[in-house]
Amino acid sequence: MIIAEQKEISEIINMVGDHRKILVIGCDTCVTVCLSGGAKEVAILASALRLAFRVQGKQVEVNETTIERQCEIEFVDSLESMAKDKDLLISMGCGIGVQTIAERFFHLPVVPALNTKFLGLPEKQGVWVERCQACGQCVLDKTGGICPISRCSKSLLNGPCGGSQNGKCEINDEIDCAWHLIYERLKALNRLECLEEIMPVKDWSTSRDGGPRKMIREDMCL
Amino acid sequence: MKVGSRLETLLTQGEFVATAELGPPKSADLELIKKKAAILRGYADAVNITDNQTAIVRVSSIAAGKISLDEGLEPIIQMTCRDRNRLAMQADILGAHVFGLKNLLCLSGDHQSFGNHPQAKNVYDLDSIQLAQMVKNMRDEKVFQCGDEIKNTKKSEVIEPRMFVGVAANPFADPFEFRVIRLAKKIKAGADFVQTQCIFDLPKFKEWMKMVVDRGLHEKVYLLAGVMPVKSYRVLQYMKKNVAGMSIPDELIDRMKGAEDPKAEGVKICIELIQQVREIEGIRGVHIMAVEWEAIVPSIVQEAGLYPRPQIQ
């Protein structure tokens, strides 16, 4: 899922500026699961904003709502009645949610309350880790199900660099060396011979480097 | 011979080679490059010109390499995968050839978080093995990475850059058993010579070399053992704690600590290591990494019995 975290409240207040009628919008999908932009976080942020504006002596109306998915127009459409009399929308969705709302409500400003971090999973309570960089050409079959693109600090394709020590990455010992993990897993699977093959130069055109991406399924198009 | 560089020629002649390192300045200081080159001239068969080492901006390795060449050195251009994509790499390789540079060392490069621009975007379009393969293919297949022939127009003649391909090997990084597989891959990719990470832990190095020899890799590539003179025990302590992929025995730190003249002791240890690695089967030379201490290289080379350097026959 998409992992995001809330921006500093001071940054969000700055983004509000002189707006007076605000709608804080949560999303029930990824950001609810990663505890950054669900109904609960929306309630907390809306309360914090009301309090901050009261302290500042400003008359600001803060409303709140949470929709199923901010990344689908059908759900974003449902905001129509609540959004129409507002002068600012604050999205607590990921970057995709913010943009879907911006596209749908062309004449209303929308600002992000979250920083979208990465595609990953909760490793344990309160800790999320990255697992995929959406490079568009999956190599997990060759790397024991462990992604070197997203999990090696240098996205190396042919094994660990000289900075791998005690299973940790050279950049800090909080990060596992992806290639150490790959080595251990392929060893356990009795497939170490995979590592003898040179992985060819990667075609990055399927990644962001090929420009903004689009997927078309002719069979699904109406 | 593939390239006919001085380094390749001496290795082919069967000489025990000595290479050194020249770190370009962190400013546009031409005179410093010349000064460092003058110190090393005659004492090293070839000299690595580092490429933004430890991710700190310096004079580019190719520019400093060209100056060094003019000053009478045989440069080994270092190229990291951190700062350039395949277009920039190939453009620089063509440029290096045009300048008369003939040796290229292919490296991953330290992560930018170590350097003075930790907020930089890194590249890693290729990794060091893919870079070695590309440089070899440019030379032997006369093609760019995309497969196009290396010629200016359809009717032009092919003029390919010819580099003696070097790679690094770190026997002290983990997973230890993978390190020989990685060397084998680098050789398969096209490495002609290898320079190892600096050796302080001789028993571990010997263990790795045994695996190298068992696989017959020493017969497929020229292996140069890396050594580093240190000025004080603090340097060793620092590296042990902060530099990933180093193995530094405590006895060595204690020996440096107890020394009356630590600089002299550091040099002595370095010379002892040179003599010890020279005895190991498969080692064809040494790479002396006197980081920001180029001035010590002549005396190390002399005292290790490596002076005068051999001539091309």
pTM for this entry: 0.96
The DSSP symbol for B83 reads S
Do A111 and A149 lie in a common domain? Answer: no
Q: Is there a domain that residue B165 lies in? A: yes
Q: For residues A200-211, give the mean pLDDT.
A: 96
Of A171, A179, A198, which has the smallest distance from its Cβ to B185's Cβ? A198
pLDDT at B174 over 90: yes
On whether residue B241 sits in a domain, the answer given is no
Pair A71, A140 in one domain? no
Q: What does the alpha-carbon distance between residue B165 and residue B189 come to, in Å, rounded to a whole number?
A: 10
- Find the Cα–Cα–Cα–Cα dihedral A162, A166, A171, A175, rounded to 10°: 130
| Chain A environment of B185 (Cβ under 8 Å) | 158-159, 195-196, 198
Mutate to test the interface with B, among A201, A203, A205 (most CBs of B within 10 A): A201
Q: What pLDDT is recorded for position A72?
A: 97
What type of residue sits at position B222?
Y
pLDDT band of A71, cuts 50, 70, 90: very high
Dihedral (CA of A76, A77, A79, A85) sign: positive
Structural contact between residues B233 and B265, judged by C-beta atoms closer than 8 angstroms: no
Position B244 pLDDT exceeds 90: no
Contact A39, A147 (CB under 8 A): no
> Between the CA of residue B227 and those of B20, B68, B194, B215, what are the distances in Å?
10, 22, 13, 24
Does B305 map to a domain? no
Q: Which residues of B touch A192 (CB under 8 A)?
A: 181
> Do B244 and A195 count as a contact with CB atoms less than 8 A apart?
no
pLDDT of residue A83: 97
On whether residue B143 sits in a domain, the answer given is yes
* pLDDT at residue A211 greater than cutoff 90: yes
* pLDDT of the residue at A132: 98
In 3D space, the residue among B312, B277, B306 whose CA is nearest the CA of residue B18 turns out to be B306
Which among A49, A84, A118 is the end of a domain? A118
Q: pLDDT band for position B135 (50/70/90)?
A: very high
Residues of B in contact with A158 (CB under 8 A): 127-130, 182, 185
* A140 within some domain: yes
- At CB < 8 Å, which residues of chain B contact A? 81-82, 86, 108-111, 113-114, 122, 124-130, 133-134, 145, 168-170, 173-175, 178, 181-182, 184-185, 188-189, 197, 244-246
C-beta separation of B104 from B77 below 8 A: yes
The verdict on residue A95 lying in a domain is yes
Which helix (H) or strand (E) element contains residue B305?
none
Look at residue A36 and tell me if it is in a domain: yes
Mutation choice for A interface testing from B108, B125, B127, B143 by most A CBs within 10 A: B127
Is residue B253 pLDDT above 90, yes or no?
Answer: yes
Whether A98 has a pLDDT exceeding 90, the answer reads: yes
The CA distance from A78 to the nearest CA of chain B, in Å, is: 39
User: Is residue A220 assigned to a domain?
Assistant: no
CA A83, CA B183: separation in Å to the nearest integer? 62
pLDDT digits (tens, 9 = 90+) for A6-59: 999 999 999 999 999 999 999 999 999 999 999 999 999 999 999 999 999 999
Q: A93 with A172, same domain? A: no
CATH (domain of B29): 3.20.20.220
CB-count exposure of residue B157 (10 Å: 0-12, 13-18, 19+): exposed
For residue A152, the enclosing domain spans: 135-200
Residue at A124 is within a domain: no
Q: What is the CATH number of the domain that holds A40?
A: 3.40.50.1860
Put simply, the answer to whether B126 touches A180 (Cβ < 8 Å) is: no
B122 vs A contacts (CB less than 8 Å) = 154
User: Which of B271, B256, B273 shows the shortest CA–CA distance to B206?
Assistant: B273
Same domain assignment for residues A111 and A160: no
Q: Hey, are the CB atoms on B127 and A195 less than 8 Å from each other?
A: no
Cβ neighbors of A130 (< 8 A, separation 6 or more) are A3, A117, A118, A119, A120, A150, A151
Angle between helices B86-98 and B128-140 (to 10 degrees): 50
Calculate what percentage of chain A has a pLDDT beyond 90: 100
| Mean pLDDT, range B150-160, rounded to an integer | 98
pLDDT of residue B71: 98
Does residue A20 sit within a domain?
Answer: yes
What's the token pair of residue B303? 């005292």
Per DSSP (E only), the strands in B119-203 are 164-169, 193-198
Within 8 A of B86 by CB-CB distance, chain A residues are 201
> Domain range for residue B190?
6-228+281-297
**Separation CA B242–CA B56 (nearest Å):** 17
Q: Is residue A215 part of a domain?
A: no
Distance CA A118, CA A3 (A): 5
Do A98 and A46 share a domain, yes or no? yes
User: Which of B81, B133, B173 lies at the smallest CB-CB distance from A163?
Assistant: B173
Give A191 to chain B, closest Cα distance, Å. 13
Residue A178 banded pLDDT, cuts 50, 70, 90: very high
Q: Are A195 and A159 in contact (CB under 8 A)?
A: yes
Same domain, A109 and A10: yes
User: Is residue A211 domain-resident?
Assistant: no
Number of domains in chain B: 1
| A165 contacts in chain B (CB < 8 Å) | 173-174, 244-246
Length of chain A: 222
Structurally, chain A folds into a number of domains equal to 2
Give the best residue of B182, B188, B195, B197 to mutate against chain A (max A CB count within 10 A).
B182
Asked if B184's CB is within 8 angstroms of A154's CB, the reply is no
Whether residue B274 lies inside any domain: the answer is no
Higher pLDDT pick, B292 / B68: B68
| Beta-strand pair B222-227/A127-132 | unpaired
Mutation target among A158, A164, A172 for the B interface, most CBs of B within 10 A: A158
Residue B158 has what pLDDT?
98
* Residue ending a domain, choose from A86, A118, A150: A118
